[in-house]
Structure 1
């Protein structure tokens, strides 16, 4: 993505099902869980640029001994910083009494972070303060073991105000307005309730408090707690939690918006936001890593029992398609194929735009994340060439000259790497004009492969959000190569609507497609549409969220995709560019062809999977119209 945006957080969960001595004997270290947690997090480092954190819980620790450990970091390389901190706890042991490093039970009793339940989080902050207090895991502490709660997640709730009000009604007084706080306190409240209900029941049976504590630990109904907690959540979420006694869960929203994968055998249970992280860290085949189903929670009891239980009625699955286009790492076998398919499906539009003149067209890609889509486009071009060769040989084989035949057989797409992201330049000069000039050099380019004012340059991007980098940097740089025409091709459709489920795209003014639609309305004397949409959106905010519809669709309704693309071309084309410029976008239909199992497309279509989404998009439009530069949820 040429425009950098923040996005999805990542989770990493491990439950060791055997005693630590088992892993010492089989794998040569009692630090097996920590080592695997490090790998699991490092293989998802793309999901956390703003911080990270881990928490561990030791099982069956005697009273008076610490059993929960947590450490969070906002260092530039937070994962390495965290595990460096943990590793330091073993340096003196290794140097002074190395034999204790082989004693799993001693390590468990005497060194923090050596436990059977491990939780890691990688943070990509979409909003709000970026401080250590915003880093997961979050901890809710209590002297009762089964009332302690640790949570970490990849989630955004659209109805934080409503959830806060419910906490007030329960008598709580949350310390801040944030969905992380409301989720932690909501689960914590019903965890407390469950504890109290069990305590009262066992007390009536005449059990003493020590026996009651053990019975509560054995019989906590995690699914019941989650059902009560999540009853009114509206958003996209994958949330992992650990209770102090060792019970653990990973839950996924009813529409399956956020990703969640897991693997379980007789040694471990592991869950993560991305499948390849599990595959790589544990050397597991693709087919053995499963998805947690929408509306379900993977529950691991203290005794090692693993189950997947419904906590909310599953809805139509609307898994995030942006995960497939850009966010998740392309090492996932399915994602790799889908990205190639997205590129291949663009070939017809590209061939039309260059009048099928492959001889005078050079194909490239802009950011590295677009490379796989680019390969798919090249495969599609080769398929087109084979079709041309076949048809020509079938119908003109008797009239082809040797020169024509040689030219036909030598047809191939001209593929070059032209835009290369350079080192991050430090824009330390304060004047705006100088800073803009520095930004224009973020990318470097390859000279000498474009025929001056003859060749068309086709450059694939995986998505275009704001178009800022294209205008300020990329188009200027590749225009220096003197192409006749520059075609920027997005493997994703036009981003028209805000996201409210975890991606850093919450304001209408951020989208170049929205800017283009507004300009077209004004140019064509249709300003009344803007005012009518504003009034409808404003009025809708007084309704229950379940009754709200997305009125912002009316902004785009008068125009075809091609009309908006043409206006976007005008917006992102710098005034001093010599070459003709064109922008081509993937179609929504082709997106669904390429990613059939991930139909969540609200940022493109405006079809939100939850009621809160419609409220957010209307509020975002009201904010834009009123000049209020705030997020809409």
Structure 2
């Protein structure tokens, strides 16, 4: 993505199903779980550059011994910092008495982070809210072991105000207005309720308090707690949690918006946000890694029993398509194939745009995340060439000359590496003009590959959000090569609406497609469409979210996708550029063909999978109309 946006976080959860001594004996280390957690987090490093955190829980510790450990850090090097912190604890043991590193009972009793339940989180901060207090995991502490709660997740809730009000009604007073706090306290409240109900039950049976504590740990109904907690949640979420006595869970929203994958055998349970992390860390084949079903929670009880339980009625599955286009690593076999298909499906539009003139067209891509889709596009072009060669050679009525034969057989797409992202330049100069000049040098080019004034240059991007980098940098750089025409191709459709389930895209003014539609409305004297949409949004402020519709769709309705694309071309084209410019977008229909299992497309279509999404998009439009530069949800 040439425009940088922040996006979904990543989770990792490990439940060791054997005593630590088993891993010491089989794998030669009592730190087996920690080593695997580190691998899982590093293999998902793409999901968090702002911070990270880990937490572990030890099972069956003696009263008075610490059993919960947590450490968090900020910055792109957070994962390394965290595990250096942990490693120092064992380095101290190594320096004191190396034999103790093989004594699992001693380690568990004396060294933190030697637990059987391990949790990791990678974080992308949104809207400047980035501090150590914002880093997961979050901890809710209590002297009762089974009332302790640790959570970490990849989620955004659209109805935080509503959830906060519910907490107030329960008598709670949350310390801040954030979905992380409301989720923690909501689960915590029903965890307390379940504990109290079980305590009263066993107390009436005449059991002592010590006996009751053990009985609560055995009988805690995790599914019931999650069902009560999530009853009124509106958002996209994958949330991992651990209770202090050792029960663990990972829950996924009813529409399956956020991803969650798992594997388990008789030694270990592991859950992550991306499948390849599990495959790599544990050498597991693709088919053995499963996906948590929407509206379900994977639950690991303290006794090691594992089950997938439905805590909420699933709705139509709308898994995030941006995960497939851009966010998740392309090392997932399914995602790799889908990205190639996205590129292949663009070929008819591209060929039409270059007038089927492959001889005078060069194909490339920018940035590196578009590489796989580019491979698919090139395969599609080769398929076209083969068909052209066959039809030409087989169907000609007259005899073909040797020269024509040679030209036809040598016909192939001209594929080149044109643009290279340079070392990150620091735009430390404060003057806007100077800063813009620095930005224009973020990419460098390979000179001498384009025939000046003759060649068309086709460059594939995986998505275009704002178009700022294209206008300020990429198009100017490509124009220096002297092509007669530059065609920018997006493997994703036009991004028209804000996301409210995890991606850092929440302001209408951020989208060049929205800017294009507004520009067209004003140019054609249709400003009434803008004001009517605003009036409808204002009227809907006090309507229950379940009865709302996306009134912002009216902004785009008068125009075809091609009209929007043409206006985007005008907006992002620098004034002093010599080459003709054209922008081509993937169609929504082709997106669904390429990613048939991930039909969540609200940022393209405006069809939100939860009622809260319609409230968010309407609020985002009102904020834009009122000049408020703020996100449309908490």
User: What TM-score, normalized to structure 1?
Assistant: 1.00
- Partners of 1:55 and 1:493 lie apart in 2 by 39
Task: Provide the residue aligned with 1:2 in structure 2.
Answer: 2
Task: Provide the residue aligned with 2:471 in structure 1.
Answer: 471
3-state SS, counterpart of residue 69 of structure 2:
strand
- Partners of 2:607 and 2:571 lie apart in 1 by 26
Residue-by-residue CA offset, 1:419-465 (whole Å, 9 max, x unaligned): 10000001111111000000000000000010001000000000000
Task: Provide the residue aligned with 2:377 in structure 1.
Answer: 377
Post-superposition shift, 1:586? Answer: 0.2
Q: Residues 21-420 of structure 1: matches in 2 within 5 Å? A: 21-396=21-396, 398-420=398-420
Q: Residues 515-554 of structure 1: matches in 2 within 5 Å? A: 515-554=515-554
- Partners of 2:475 and 2:121 lie apart in 1 by 37
Task: Provide the residue aligned with 2:618 in structure 1.
Answer: 618
Post-superposition shift, 1:75? Answer: 3.5
Residue-by-residue CA offset, 1:168-194 (whole Å, 9 max, x unaligned): 000000000000000000000000000
Task: Provide the residue aligned with 1:589 in structure 2.
Answer: 589
Cα RMSD between the aligned structures? Answer: 0.6
Post-superposition shift, 1:94? Answer: 1.1
- Partners of 2:352 and 2:243 lie apart in 1 by 59
Post-superposition shift, 1:128? Answer: 4.8
Poorly superposed stretches of 4+, deviation over 3 Å: none
3-state SS, counterpart of residue 627 of structure 1:
coil
Q: Residues 444-523 of structure 1: matches in 2 within 5 Å? A: 444-523=444-523
3-state SS, counterpart of residue 120 of structure 1:
strand
Post-superposition shift, 1:375? Answer: 0.4
**Contact 2:48-2:76 at 8 Å conserved across structures:** no
3-state SS, counterpart of residue 359 of structure 2:
helix
**Contact 2:52-2:73 at 8 Å conserved across structures:** yes
Post-superposition shift, 1:76? Answer: 3.2
Residue-by-residue CA offset, 1:9-35 (whole Å, 9 max, x unaligned): 000000000000000000000000000
Residue-by-residue CA offset, 1:62-98 (whole Å, 9 max, x unaligned): 0000000000000431000000000000112112311
Post-superposition shift, 1:105? Answer: 1.1
Post-superposition shift, 1:398? Answer: 4.7
- Partners of 2:373 and 2:479 lie apart in 1 by 23
Post-superposition shift, 1:127? Answer: 3.1
3-state SS, counterpart of residue 617 of structure 2:
helix
**Contact 1:300-1:307 at 8 Å conserved across structures:** yes
- Partners of 1:20 and 1:507 lie apart in 2 by 49
612-621 vs 119-128, greater mean Cα deviation: 119-128
Post-superposition shift, 1:353? Answer: 0.2
**Contact 2:23-2:32 at 8 Å conserved across structures:** yes
3-state SS, counterpart of residue 262 of structure 2:
strand
3-state SS, counterpart of residue 628 of structure 2:
coil
3-state SS, counterpart of residue 622 of structure 2:
helix
**Contact 1:75-1:81 at 8 Å conserved across structures:** no
**Contact 1:73-1:132 at 8 Å conserved across structures:** yes
Task: Provide the residue aligned with 2:598 in structure 1.
Answer: 598
- Partners of 1:397 and 1:456 lie apart in 2 by 32
Task: Provide the residue aligned with 1:628 in structure 2.
Answer: 628
- Partners of 1:263 and 1:155 lie apart in 2 by 22
**Contact 1:445-1:477 at 8 Å conserved across structures:** yes
Task: Provide the residue aligned with 1:424 in structure 2.
Answer: 424
3-state SS, counterpart of residue 447 of structure 1:
coil
3-state SS, counterpart of residue 269 of structure 2:
strand
- Partners of 1:476 and 1:545 lie apart in 2 by 45
- Partners of 2:183 and 2:397 lie apart in 1 by 71
Post-superposition shift, 1:262? Answer: 0.3
Q: Which runs of 5+ in 1 are unaligned?
A: none
Post-superposition shift, 1:397? Answer: 6.9
Number of residues paired by the alignment? 633
- Partners of 1:316 and 1:56 lie apart in 2 by 35
User: What TM-score, normalized to structure 2?
Assistant: 0.99
